[in-house]
Amino acid sequence: MQNKNFFANLLPSRMTRQVREILVSTILLNLALAMVMVFEPIYLFQLGYSLQDIITFYLLVYLVYFFIMPLGAKFARYAGYEWGIFWGSFFFAAFYLALFLIPIQTWFFYVAPIIFAVQKMFYWPAYHAGFAKFSDSSEEGREVGTMNGVTSLVYIIGPALAGFIVLDWGYGALFVMASVIFLLSNIPTLITKENFEKKDFSYGQAYRDLLSKENRQAFLSYLGFGEEFVVMVIWPIFISLIIVNVFDLGLLVAATTLITVLVTLYVGKLSDSRSKRSVLALGSTFYSIAWFIRLFIVNQLGVFFVDTMSRLSKNIIMVPLTTITYERAKKNLSVMSGVVFFEMALVVGKVLAMLLILLALMFIGDEVFVMKLTFILAGSLSLLYMLL
């Protein structure tokens, strides 16, 4: 009975219909992402693009996203959060179609980043604003923890399934299957009508908020997300040099994810009952250490160890950080203004990381050595999270 009560206490009990719909939709969307995300930069690398080319690809994504993001917020405030999420998932499918077409027409290498930026423009302001608006303040940590923990479960299935698909049928089949799931993820949010009040969103105010004095410390904290570019792009390419079998790579990512799920749920409970910032500082410290350990990884066992440690500590960061971010957004006159500030600040962090890596590649010819330097950069950026 005590064990039953313990697990029950880890879960939220007052989740609204809107948050439940977003949860189910997010599970499906993350299943598709789990199948393709780790293989995305590896795919470009195997097509013959250099590390510098791949960084330029993502730099274009985030530069375009930075300037069009407030338009996505305008759309969500006019048409509704659910339609923003819908078009975001639609452009996800279009993005992976464009990736598939790169070997056929090389100019898709420049079209795909623009499509990806449009996907982000529609999806992220709508997703964050919807969750922040409809989550219950008294158990927000548990709701965020449940969202992160449950969606993490699909990262157990997704990478292993993707490795099998790529091994037997290739990247084309993987991208098609993921695109279908992206589109199906809209069913939970569109089966009920969304009730909302149409409002305008100021394009210029979004940039004024980014530079405002009162947001300066939060801005510096969100710059830490520059490490996410390293974990999503550089790290998969690096481990593909160690683990050449894509099926084994998929299994390894799945196994490391399984260990993180219960920890994430428990961190959600801690974020409701204890100091969120102390939990955030703990996660930030361990996450930074995990990045520095990557410098010494030479085999599959090492990859498994450091990837597990990284996923655990990143989830310890993300639950309190997201909870604090949503609390800040609710205190603003507009929830959307708060989440757009969050998204814009993290984009600046990622762009700065990319520019620093490109600068290193200009002066250092050894790509593997530069990859290891990026681990030092990511570890340093991770410490910024505790400033929030």
Contact 316, 282 (CB under 8 A): yes
Going by C-alpha positions, the residue among 349, 328, 346 that lies closest to residue 337 is 328
pLDDT at 185: 84
Q: Helices (DSSP H) in the chain: which residue ranges?
A: 2-10, 17-36, 40-46, 51-79, 81-101, 108-134, 140-169, 171-184, 187-190, 203-211, 216-222, 226-229, 235-242, 246-258, 261-273, 276-293, 300-331, 335-363, 367-382
**CA-to-CA distance for 257 and 232, rounded, in angstroms?**
15
- Is residue 217 exposed (0-12), middle (13-18) or buried (19+ Cβ within 10 Å)? exposed
* pLDDT by residue, tens only, the chain of 388 residues: 444 454 445 555 556 777 777 777 888 888 888 777 767 888 888 889 988 999 999 999 999 999 999 999 999 988 888 889 889 989 988 998 898 899 999 999 999 999 999 999 999 998 888 877 776 666 666 677 677 767 777 777 777 777 778 777 887 888 888 888 888 888 877 777 666 777 888 888 889 999 888 889 999 999 999 999 998 888 888 887 776 555 555 555 555 555 555 566 556 555 555 677 888 888 899 899 999 998 888 777 777 778 777 877 887 888 888 888 888 888 776 788 888 999 999 999 999 999 999 999 988 878 888 888 999 999 999 999 999 8
Tell me the backbone φ, ψ of residue 97, rounded to 5 degrees.
-65, -45
| CB atoms closer than 10 angstroms to residue 279 | 21
Helix 171-184, helix 140-169: angle, nearest 10: 150
In order of their start, the domains of the chain are 16-187+215-387 (1.20.1250.20)
pLDDT at 351: 96
**CA-to-CA distance for 232 and 350, rounded, in angstroms?**
11
SS3 135: coil
**CA-to-CA distance for 57 and 39, rounded, in angstroms?**
15
Tell me the backbone φ, ψ of residue 366, rounded to 5 degrees.
-80, 105
**CA-to-CA distance for 28 and 186, rounded, in angstroms?**
9
Contact 306, 297 (CB under 8 A): yes
